[in-house]
Amino acid sequence: MKGENAVAINGFMYRPRGVLIGYFLCEVCANYIFKEAEKNPYKQTPLHADIERNLADAYLKYLASLDA
C-alpha cells in the first residue's frame, strides 16, 4: 500500500458447513480488488465469487478424501 509491502488476507463463511475459509491474495488479484472497491465500494467482485467457488470445491474434495 502506497509503496509499502502488504499482505491481503481474506475470508468467507462456507455456510453449508459453517466453516470460515481464509486465503491470501497475490499482488495482482489484491490490486484488482482494491481498484474495483474504489469504483464500487462494498460490492463483491466476480473474482471473489470465482475464488470462493474454487476454495469451496477444494474443501469438499478434501472432506471426501478423508472418507476414502
| Distance separating alpha carbons of residues 8 and 45, to the nearest angstrom | 15
Contact 11, 22 (CB under 8 A): yes
pTM equals: 0.79
* Per-residue confidence band for 1, with pLDDT thresholds at 50, 70 and 90: low
Contact 33, 45 (CB under 8 A): yes
According to DSSP, the residues that pair with 14 across neighbouring strands are 19
Task: Please check the confidence at residue 4 and state whether its pLDDT lies above 90.
Answer: no
Q: Where are the domains of the chain?
A: 8-67
